[in-house]
Structure 1
Amino acid sequence: MTTTLRRAEGAQRATTLELFYDLVFVFAITQVSHLLLAHLTWEGAGQALMVLLVVWWSWNFTTWATNELDPESTPVRLLLLGLMLACLLMAIAIPEAFGDRALLFVGAYVVIQVGRHAFLAFAAAGRGTIERERASRILVWFATAGVLWIAGALADGSARTVLWIAALAVDYGGPLVMYWVPGRTGMPEGTWRIETSHFAERFQLFVIIALGESIVITGATSSELELDAARAVAIALAFVGTAALWWLYFSSVAQVAESTLERARDRTNVARDVYTYLHVVLVAGIVVTAVGDELVIAHPGDDLPTAQLLALVAGPVLYLLAQDLMRWRIEGGPSPSRTIGIVACLLAGLIGIVAPALLVAALLALVLAAVVLSDERARRRRGGPAPAGQELDLAG
């Protein structure tokens, strides 16, 4: 009965099926970027944020599930392929998620969440196992949120917004209370079995997906415009910025997070806070940065309107803030280089009130490059890559 579960034998790695499953999220992240770009208002930003949180939650919980499921099992393969199809439909609906395709968007999402955990609760594990008990409790939460999601899709205007915010609160609030269900005893933290190498790798791959989407937007936007000197510089700055985002994450933060998770006594809570919650802030920063890059490439010599300037600056700020918050969660204090970087990005935004987009982009790229250099100096002080237990210095 439990043949769908992974065997606890050594370190696990992401499988080709999981990588194939991730492909649909390249499209989904691109859709979120386009949604924000098309609606650069506070309302549009709120809608894009909600859509991103939905996309993230669908991917995130599949990752938690596949950390324990055996992707070589036929039932698990069929499950992932079915979830992938539902994710594709959800992504297709994103541009009209708050319009004519609201029901398709949330309907696909509810099918993903409820279907996955119905499988976990009734097919993946035997009766009386902790896996079945855990999955059944999460299923109760997803089903409750699902009612609110569907009700919101059938409503209009502010009623839809209120119902969807309530649904999102249920979805994101569940892990904070360990999916407590009335009449049942609480679940201990050890209820989740987390294989660190696989779990961390999956989230690192999602960061790559988001960064890849930035490269795609840069290339797609540039290919449709006439190239001159200013635009060529804008393209180069967009690439430098994206490369800096990669460097800042994979040269320090990814290692810090994985090492911390490996050593943590409360591994479930660390995985929840650092990966499930804070990585979505990181991804949001990448998405908004991609939007800012597209705006600069399209209008390098223009003074950007307020909304566009905010988008340009908000991307790097969110990205550095996410890494700062990770440092707070891991060590109880900020990363000085990232805190200074956030302030410097905000100052660049103030300069953007009277300066063209290209200058602001150059200043932001310089800020990110300076934080990278700070990381590299910290690495040299340590004498190279730090051993486990000594790599918590996020350029501090």
Structure 2
Amino acid sequence: MVNRQLRRRRGAGLRGAATLELFYDLVFVFSITQVSHLLAHHLSWAGVGQSLIVLLAVWWSWNYTTWATNELDPETNAVRLLLIALMLGSMLMAISIPDAFGDRGLLFAIAYVSVQVGRHAFLVFAASEKGSIERDQAGRILAWFACAGVFWIAGGLVEGDMRVWIWLFALVLDYVAPMILFPVPGRPRLTAQSWHIATDHFAERFGLFVIAALGETIILTGATTAAHDLDPATLFAFVQAFVGTAALWWLYFTARHELGEQALAREATRTRRARDVYTYGHVLIVAGIIATAVGDELVIAHPLDQLAPAQTMAVSAGPIVFLSAQLLFRLRVNRRVDFGRLAAIGACIAIALFSGSTPSLAVGGVLVAVLLGVVLLDERSRRLPPHSAPGGEDDDSCHHLLRGLRRIRTRDLPSSRHPG
């Protein structure tokens, strides 16, 4: 029998993440660590591609659980048991990540499919009534997961490049489905307004995942430093990496996190913006943080060495991806180009291309200086009146001037159609 009490009551007031959700996130701290190690040990285009496939699968698993717990009540025993079961499946995914493209590929695929299909089977049969919009939504998503799951498991059964291509196709199915709102043959199309979002809970959950990714960066920085002799160059590289991580935190949580909550304020566009800014946009932010952690590890391990071109790209990739994600974030929320971030991205790309004979410590230092420059620009913008902040949310001075001139023309001057 369906238990409607498993769902949260709408309009029950502000609420944050439950302790069980924080417990659930601990699995993904481990998952991020595993992805970082996979990338660090395979610094090649093939290694980047494999790490990205694994990260996208891990992110998709966490993301859909967050959407589910936005509606489910984690204080009920049934939902608690569901989340604990999902934790177990996610742990199996995490432990198989280092060899996901080797002997543990099938384990990774089965664990991933079990998490995705199991969660939404629960939503269909245990947490929604027959004929309800909730059951229709969950059923459509379940059908798409089942379809993609065939390719995930098929990929786990083959080896080499064939696994990569099959899993890429499975990811395309997974990631395209929300864009087209999970169409099912013979069923009417859904609208984005069919989904309801508790905005306070939603923004907090994604912010907590960013914290988990930053935590992995801190852990990797500390572990790498502890494993080497603490000479002045290594200590300087450690401080430099720590300052860079703090800059990433500052850039995300000072202003852009608030922008995300503003993006969910309007009900008419809430679901689509939540999908674009959080479901799709935040995976780029997390990828940038992971790449930064790997770059910091390289600099700390070889502070005075000249890096190979691939290593220089790896050190620069983190800030480039992170700032690009924030640029797209602001463009989607406010429909404005953040020229400060655009210039910073250009500077990071130039560093990646033209610093081949420079010691890694200097390369990392310039990248951190670029991040701190963006922090200063943000702080300056926050202290200026809204209409004065360049590229700010309310930078509409020309629009207001033209509107004022129109008012003068229509109210204070004779009408042009009736000359006096």
TM-score range with shorter-chain normalisation?
over 0.9
Is 1:61 matched with 2:71? no
Aligned-residue offset at 1:171: 0.3
Partner letter of residue 30 of structure 1?
T
Written as runs of structure 1 = structure 2, the 5 A alignment for 1:75-154 is 75-154=78-157
Q: Distance in 2 between matches of 1:380 and 1:152?
A: 53
**The structure with more radius of gyration:** 2
Instruction: Map Cα deviations across residues 112-152 of structure 1 (whole Å, 9 max, x no partner).
Output: 00000000011111111111110000000000000000001
Alignment of 1:298 onto 2:301: yes
How big is the shift at 1:350?
Answer: 3.1
CA separation in 2, counterparts of 1:96 and 1:194?
Answer: 37
Determine if the alignment matches structure 1 residue 242 to structure 2 residue 245. yes
Give the gaps of 5 or more residues in structure 1. Answer: none
Letter in 1 for 2:381: A
Q: TM-score, normalized by length of structure 1?
A: 0.96
Choose which of 373, 381, 385 in structure 1 pairs with 2:376.
373
- The equivalent of 2:413 in structure 1 is none
| 2:172 aligned with 1:164 | no
CA contact (8 A) 1:281 1:319 kept: yes
- Which residue of structure 1 aligns with residue 256 of structure 2? 253
Structure 1 residue 211: deviation in Å? Answer: 0.3
* CA shift for structure 1 position 349: 2.0
1:7 aligns with: 9
CA distance in 2, matches of 1:382, 1:27: 43
C-alpha offsets along residues 304-347 of structure 1, whole Å, 9 cap, x if unaligned? Answer: 11111111000000000000011221222321111011011112
- Read off the aligned partner of 2:93 and give its amino acid letter: M
Shift in Å, 1:20? 0.2
Distance 1:91 1:391, change over 3 A: farther
Kept in 2, the 8 Å contact 1:301–1:357? The answer is yes
State the one-letter code of the partner of 1:262: A
User: In the alignment, which residue of structure 2 is the partner of 1:188?
Assistant: 191
Worse-superposed segment, 155-164 or 288-297 = 155-164
Q: Which moved more, 1:259-268 or 1:194-203?
A: 259-268
Give the superposition deviation at 1:262. Answer: 1.5
What do residues 238-264 of structure 1 show as CA deviations (whole Å, max 9, x unaligned)?
001000000000001100011121225
- CA shift digits 1:361-395 (9 cap, x unpaired): 11001000000000000011038xx9xx95799xx
In 1, Cα distance between equivalents of 2:123 and 2:394: 36
Q: Deviations over 1:11-62 (max 9, x none)?
A: 1210100000000100000000000010000000000000000000000000
Q: Which runs of 4+ in 1 moved over 6 A?
A: none
Distance in 2, Cα, partners of 1:343 & 1:159? 36
Normalising by the residue count of structure 2, what TM-score does the alignment of the two structures yield?
A: 0.91
Q: Does 1:230 align with 2:233?
A: yes
Partner of 2:405: none
The DSSP-based 3-state class of the residue aligned with 1:176 is coil
| Pairwise CA distance, 1:188 | 1.5
Query: 2:312 matched to which residue of 1?
Result: 309
Give yes or no for contact 1:120–1:135 (8 Å, CA) kept in 2: yes
Is the Cα–Cα contact under 8 Å of residues 101 and 159 in structure 2 kept in the other structure? no
2:234 is paired with a residue whose SS is helix
Change (3 A) 1:378 1:62: same
Per the TM alignment, residue 233 of structure 1 is displaced from its structure 2 partner at its CA by: 0.6
Quick one: distance in 2 between partners of 1:164 and 1:243? 35
- The CA deviation at 1:219 is 0.5
Output the amino acid matched with 1:164: W
Matched residue count: 389
Corresponding letter in the other structure for 1:7: R
For the 8 Å contact 1:210–1:287, the answer to whether it is kept is: yes
Q: For the Cα contact (< 8 Å) 1:351–1:360, is it kept in 2?
A: no
- 1:190-214 Cα deviation digits (max 9, x unpaired): 2111000000000000000000000
Q: Structure 2 unaligned runs (5+)?
A: 397-420
Q: State, as a whole percentage, how many aligned pairs show the same letter.
A: 57
Whole-Å separation in 2 of the counterparts to 1:49 and 1:2:
38
* Secondary structure in structure 1 of the residue aligned to 2:265: helix
Alignment equivalent of 2:202, drawn from 194, 199, 204: 199
1:320–1:338 CA contact under 8 A, matched in 2: yes
Counterpart CA distance in 2 for 1:16 and 1:5 is: 17
| Residue number in structure 2 paired with 1:72 | 75
Deviation at 1:153, TM superposition (A): 0.5
1:339-354 → structure 2 map (5 Å cutoff): 339-354=342-357
Contact map agreement 2:237 2:303 (CA 8 A) in 1: yes
